[in-house]
Structure 1
Amino acid sequence: MSKSIVTLRKKAISQGRMSLYLDFYPPVWDSRANDYTRREFLKLYIYQKPADQYQKLSNSENLHTAELIRARRQNEINKSEIYSPFEKEQLQIQARGNESFLQYYKKLGEKKTGNNLSIWNCAIAHFEAFLNGNDLLFKDVTVTVIEDFRDYLLKARSMRKNNKQISRNTALSYYNKIKTTLKGAYKEDKLRTDINSKIGSIKEMESQRNFMTIEETRKLFSTPCPNSLVRKISMFSVLTGIRYVDIAKLLWSEIHYIENDGYYIIFRQKKTQGAETMPISDEAFSLLGKRKGEKELVFKGLNKWDVDRVLPVWVALSGINKHITFHSFRHTYATLQLTAGTDIFTISKMLGHRSVKTTQIYAKVIDQKKRDAANRISLG
């Protein structure tokens, strides 16, 4: 193993001065920057051409101080080479404990993309607000700290202009980001305790899922739509349960046909990044039109603004008195499948849900509809 060397160096700066710094080879770990570095600036300066006795004396004192620091750093590095395995392990634990958990959290967030990146950035911003401008080292991460952050999120207000209190489900989303970070830190031995397994959770609040019955669905699609492309993708979503973002980016290379089996879409969900192989009906395939180049969009010319503008008008023209958004078509697909008798596990797979628990909300909706129907008949 090559010996570590610490060298005192100088760097020219303004006003005829030189900054003194240490050069480490190989690089050493800097717990403040949460990364390896070759330099440690000492905040000591000397004059390149001392003009008087005072500047000469200042140069001499600062060089002497810098050399003492260099010798101390060299001694610290040399000592680490003669420690016993146990002592080295303890030093490593101590070093990891002095690393920044906040910086680790930020670096994890930087790896995300798209809408997921935006959510991570918001979650990190709230964590920084919770820390009130302070850093948080790994050694100071405790169950109490994380649960205090959970309590903060349940009362936190949006950082946008409206300053409204964030919803419980938004708080849950942000809290899950810190839980993911804790899992990763424990797996990498940066945390000595699996804090994620010890902390409490935030219970998800079931959001209202507006959907259409089969009668309302047929009524909508029998009503002329002001935009034919909006009608086409709306029907495609009802027949497949695919989200708008995935429909908008669908390529012809993702449309496949298997002999004696039928048509499939093989794509990656934008929201979950999960790879999906989804069979689609002949009726859904017929909406795609004439096949084009493999790298071309299936629904070319699609614009979300047009969808958001046209859809409420179209729903109103059909006489449906419900607040229907494009995402309601995904909910409609799920509830129509359940009503038709498709089992919940199959629907969960078709929707690309990671857990069947996410799909069970639709079963509760159907059960409530059955209860409402049962209560409509009374002999009293």
Structure 2
Amino acid sequence: MTVRTYYRETKDGRKVVYVDYSIDGNRKRERTVMFYHSQPKNSSEREHNKETKKLEEHFVSNLTLKIQSGELGIQVSKHKNKNFIEFFSYLTQKRESTDKNYSTWRSALKHLKEFCPDGLSFKQMDKHWLEDFKHFLSVTQGLKSSSANNYFNVVKHGIHDAFRERLIPIDFATLVSAPTVEHAIRVFLTQEEIQKLKETECKNPILKKAFLFSCMTGMAYADIKKLEWKDFRKDDEGNFFIDFHRKKTKGLQNHPISKEAREFLGVASKLPNEKVFRELNYNSWMNMQLREWVYSAGIQKTITFHCARHSYATLLLHKKADITVVKELLGHNDLKTTMIYAKVMDIDKRNAADLIHFGI
């Protein structure tokens, strides 16, 4: 359903405002009483045009609301799910088989039930309710900004679906913005620190090898864990690649790696379907082993496995690699995600600038 306006010139130099919209498939065009001066000659006519613009916007908004609420003939359909939480549960269940953000929807449903323990009828829902839910996620639940943003957006998605199903008269989700994501500063290792780790013994050799390989390639833990020997490819010019589907985005990635990274893994198994990092199972115990290894190398940073990927990206930018190339290597869909690493470099430069003191 779209409401739009258009104009027709009159002989006396005016542009009359017409409106075009449809109800239940029937298109309607009507002339309004609003008009513009085509070529305003003085301040009075220019002021008239400004006021008419405001009136036109208000008219379109008001007409849209009337159509959505059924005042002009459209009725909100009956549906067996009178309760939004039941409807949202149904939408969540549909995603289980496709694995499309299912865990995010399931978590959002959990918070939704906590916010509305007595259920939530469609009649109770409006813009103010959604603003209260936003506050609940961000403040009451104390979630990370990224988590609050993700859960809020899937609930908004559910509201969009409810509107399309005509379970609610107005899509008020368009009126409330999602919680702002505050990007945390990425922790990364310098090239010298990675070299220290290479020279330091780790209680878990497989973990050490996988972590250093991630530093050299930027591959995430989930992709390294399922990496098989058949995924490696060498072209006619001697360049090495890894062909794999990223677990997070499901997209196919032809990932170039250095000769050093490939040789670091040693001789390939004769079994092409064999995992490269067998018995790699990153859990709380392995995370503790990782931190012990880092501290043994004399590195005073709180490091997780994912920091290897951060280090890869940051070092590439430090070596003046083009940020769009880094975006492709990391498999990011949005350049804004990659820009976070550029901000880390800016902070690093700022800290470096403060190292010199002349005592002036």
TM over 0.5: yes
Shift of 1:311: 1.1
Aligned pair in 2 of structure 1 residues 103, 276: CA closer, same or farther (>3 Å)?
farther
Q: Which residue of 1 aligns with 2:11?
A: none
Distance in 2 between the 1:300 and 1:166 partners? Answer: 35
User: In structure 2, what is the Cα distance between the partners aligned to 1:304 and 1:317?
Assistant: 20
Q: Which string of whole-angstrom CA distances, capped at 9 and with x for unpartnered residues, describes residues 190-215 of structure 1?
A: 66544443212211122232111111
**CA–CA separation in structure 2 for the residues paired with 1:272 and 1:191:** 32
Taking the TM superposition and a 5 Å limit, the aligned residue runs for 1:328-367 are 328-367=307-346
Matched, 1:298 2:298: no
Structure 2 residue aligned with 1:315: 294
Aligned to 2:305: 326
Structure with higher RCO (Cα < 8 A, 6+ apart)? 2
Query: TM-score, normalised to structure 2's length?
Result: 0.70
Match of 2:58 in 1: none
Structure-2 change in CA distance of 1:349 and 1:140 (3 Å):
farther
Q: 1:345 to 1:181 in 2, by over 3 A?
A: farther
The alpha carbon displacement at 1:296 in A equals 2.5
Matched, 1:133 2:118: yes
The question of whether the paired residues in 1 share the 8 Å contact of 2:77 and 2:166 is answered with no
Q: Which residue of 2 aligns with 1:151?
A: 135
- Deviation by residue 1:140-182 (Cα, 9 ceiling, x = unmatched): 543222222101112233xxxxxxx333332222212213333
Name 2:158's counterpart in structure 1.
181
Kept in 1: contact 2:92–2:102 (CA 8 A)? yes
**1:93-126 per-position Cα deviation (integer Å, ceiling 9, x unaligned):** 3225965432332233221477953332221011
CA gap of 1:337–1:122, structure 2 versus 1, over 3 A, is: same
Q: Which moved more, 1:140-149 or 1:206-215?
A: 140-149
TM-score, with structure 1 as normaliser: 0.67
Unaligned stretches of 5+ residues in structure 2:
1-69
TM-fit CA distance, 1:372: 1.7
1:238: Cα distance to partner? 0.3
Q: Distance in 2 between matches of 1:258 and 1:193?
A: 56
Unaligned segments of structure 1, at least 5 residues: 1-85, 158-164
CA drift of 1:332 comes to: 0.6
- The answer as to whether partners of 2:81 and 2:87 remain within 8 angstroms in 1 is no
Superposed, 1:247-266 pairs within 5 Å as 247-260=224-237, 262-266=239-243
Q: 2:222 corresponds to which letter in structure 1?
A: V
Partner amino acid for 1:129?
Answer: E
Instruction: Render the CA deviation track for 1:15-40: whole Å, top value 9, x for unaligned.
Output: xxxxxxxxxxxxxxxxxxxxxxxxxx
Aligned to 1:101: 84
CA distance in 1, matches of 2:245, 2:251: 5
Residues 261 and 310 (structure 1), Cα distance of their counterparts in 2 relative to 1, 3 Å cut: same
> 1:270: how far off?
2.2
Instruction: Work out the number of aligned pairs and report it.
Output: 285
Relative distance call for 1:99 and 1:344 in structure 2 (3 A) is: farther
